[in-house]
Amino acid sequence: MPVGGRRTALPATAFEAEGAGERKFDSAPGRDTIPRQGGRKGDAVASGDVAAGIPVRDPDEHVRFARYRRAFDAVAPDDAADLVARVLTDPDPAMANTAVCEYLDRRAAELLTDPGYPAWSLELTGPVAVDAFTARRLREWTLLRAIALDEPWEAEQLLTASNWLQLHVAGRPPAGAARSALPLLAEGGRTRRIRNIARSRIPRPG
């Protein structure tokens, strides 16, 4: 059932796992030095990566994770999609999509109600398509934007969304959520915690 104003289709988000949306990489500190030329096997980097600002590959995933985070902190908006694509080629997908999702969460929050969000989201849709976890996170930010701006969205999208999104909407409801999203989550949220938080955020009459 469509919720909000004009009806426009948004991508469905139907993942069945209870904990989907909350996966985290164990980012315990490790070495964080750029390997010297001619170092041990595994330290080699593809030609042009350093010049392009792409983190150097290291056998230690914690080192790579730290480099990816620094790269995303420094990346220019025009280069972000390329960096996302490169990071998602990492042989450790859980670590890679955690690094990418940190960037997505930060940038999407900045652009959530900004006119530039649709173009940014569209530019990243292709690069994140190779990783289901990251692609879902981007879709859910787009759904959150629709809720915040009181644009059309489907109730089923929110009810089948991850715990991450449902908790985000219930715990920090955007301006457009009180009329439509919170009552849905109060009745059909994935967990008792989500349902209770949503009920507590519904404005009381008077």
Tell me the per-residue pLDDT of 93-152, one tens digit each, with 9 for 90 and over.
999 999 999 999 999 999 999 999 999 999 999 999 999 999 999 999 999 999 999 999
Higher pLDDT, 40 or 200: 200
Which tens digit of pLDDT belongs to each residue from 11-26? Answer: 333 222 334 445 555 5
Give the integer Cα–Cα distance in Å for 183 and 198.
7
Q: How many residues does the chain have?
A: 206
Q: How far is CA 12 from CA 1, 53, 137, 192, in A?
A: 12, 34, 12, 23
Each domain of the chain, given as residue ranges in start order, spans 2-154
With 90 as the cut, is the pLDDT of residue 57 above it? no
The pLDDT > 90 percentage for the chain reads: 64
Give the integer Cα–Cα distance in Å for 173 and 181.
8
Q: Give helix then strand counts, H and E, for the chain.
A: 9, 2
End-to-end CA distance of the chain: 29
- Any long-range contacts for 32-40 (C-beta under 8 Å, 24+ apart)? 32/63, 32/66, 32/67
Give the integer Cα–Cα distance in Å for 41 and 201.
55
Cα within 13 Å of Cα(123), Cβ side: 15
